[in-house]
Amino acid sequence: MTSSEAVTDVKDASNAGIDGFALNVMSTDSWSNSAIADLFDAANASSGFKLFFSFDMTHFTNPSQFIPLIQEYHTNSAYFLQNDKPLVSTFNGGTLTFGSDTPGDGWEAAFRKPLEDMGISPFFVPDFDDWSGYPNGFISAFPVVDGAFSWETAWPEVSEGKANVSDVVDATVLHDAHSADKVYMMGQQWYRRGELNFAQRMGQILQLQPDIVEVVTWNDAGESHYVGNFWPEQIAGSQIGAYANGFDHTGWLQVLSPFIAAYKDGATDISKISPPSGASAVGAIWYRTLLKSASCASTISGSQNADDALNFAIILPTDTSGVTINVYSNNNRIGSYSGLPGLNDQSVSGLHTGGNQRIEVVDASGTTIASAVGTKDVQQQSTGSVCNFNYEVVGLS
């Protein structure tokens, strides 16, 4: 990324209520170090935005490769501290031993001890859900950690079929972590089966009250779960542009921002999520622009779990008397719902090919107070080189 793009990312995320970025570091090559430096510069120029490292252990083979980055940045004023210690996380790494008898011993010897010998005491909250025993006994098997983060729990497995996202594993690890006076960081995600994963995960987070919530992700265009910007430099030399260019997901921020505010206020139910002051409704619609029956869909793992549906998440204020949410596909009304205070979400089946995929929020007099209209038609068959199951996302206006 460029330095100006780093500034834009920090500004946009901060405006959405996000407190910081987890920097998923997979390399210490010059391009990566440059992006890290630009982001720290941007965060330091902002009002309180923070950063922390999350090391991708599908790329690193030993902590010695990235410890110099922690050494360089842990005292930076933009580095995020938990309990006055620099937070460090990972993607995977729960099976790595680094020459020790167990993964727990390996991370103690190769990661924590070298840092503590330098006078650095990290607050270590890794994603070790690739460990064979996860989640049972995780905290006792890894005394090296200060908490746990689960990436895989944030969406259903393909093998589960048309299942809703579950919080069973989250609840288990959270209980074990709190019993040991450690923290749990919960992932908010919509990947694999994504119809209502977004909204369902919000409800689970408010009920479970994890210590930290990580939005997964801000800019991973290749995996379609981005809510913010992605830049040309990220996807150069790849096929990702053919998949993600033109598919703006920032409409999801209309839902995410009020959820963040509710979480920070200690809300425990989606009915307590409120639109910003003065707004009659905020939210978004999302739908796939290719039917699951498209002949190319057989090439996509898990496509059988998709639904041809128009999905919405709309947040309404306390007084919703007479408010109705109407859903249309190709000018056919496929659903109508009475509005409730807080977060309203539905996956409405019956998506038609063609255009005018839209939602209208109307008051008791029948006046439209907010709406969203898709910019892309739904196709029966793929017309390009990519079998594209990415979501068209549109915020209310």
Q: What is the residue range of 95's domain?
A: 3-216
50 with 178, same domain: the answer is yes
161 with 284, same domain: the answer is no
Q: How many domains does the chain have?
A: 2
- Of the three residues 216, 231, 261, the one that is the final residue of a domain is 216
Provide the pLDDT confidence category of residue 158 given band limits of 50, 70 and 90.
confident
- Residue 312 maps to which CATH number? 2.60.40
76 with 159, same domain: the answer is yes
Query: Beta 324-329 vs 332-338: how paired, if at all?
Result: antiparallel
Predicted confidence (pLDDT) per residue in 42-85, tens digit: 999 998 999 999 999 999 999 999 999 999 999 999 999 999 99
Higher pLDDT, 325 or 158: 325
- Of the three residues 172, 199, 216, the one that is the final residue of a domain is 216
Q: Which amino acid is at 343?
A: L
Q: What mean pLDDT is predicted for residues 211-220?
A: 96
In the prediction, which pLDDT does 192 show? 67
Within a domain: 116: yes
Within a domain: 260: no
185 with 41, same domain: the answer is yes
Within a domain: 222: no
Within a domain: 239: no
294 with 168, same domain: the answer is no
285 with 203, same domain: the answer is no
Predicted confidence (pLDDT) per residue in 4-32, tens digit: 999 999 999 999 999 999 999 999 999 99
176 with 27, same domain: the answer is yes
Within a domain: 232: no
Within a domain: 253: no
Provide the pLDDT confidence category of residue 152 given band limits of 50, 70 and 90.
confident
111 with 210, same domain: the answer is yes
Within a domain: 359: yes
74 with 193, same domain: the answer is yes
> What token pair was written down for 367?
């006046």
Predicted confidence (pLDDT) per residue in 169-187, tens digit: 999 999 999 999 999 999 8
147 with 294, same domain: the answer is no
- Residue 97 maps to which CATH number? 3.20.20.80
Within a domain: 34: yes
120 with 187, same domain: the answer is yes
73 with 206, same domain: the answer is yes
Predicted confidence (pLDDT) per residue in 236-276, tens digit: 999 999 999 999 999 999 999 999 999 999 999 999 999 99
Alpha-carbon torsion angle 330, 332, 338, 341, nearest 10: 0
**Does residue 123 surpass a pLDDT of 80?**
yes
Contact predicate 63/99, CB 8 Å? no
In the prediction, which pLDDT does 191 show? 37
- Of the three residues 183, 216, 249, the one that is the final residue of a domain is 216
Provide the pLDDT confidence category of residue 302 given band limits of 50, 70 and 90.
confident
Provide the pLDDT confidence category of residue 188 given band limits of 50, 70 and 90.
low
Q: Is 3 exposed, middle or buried (0-12, 13-18, 19+ CB in 10 A)?
A: middle
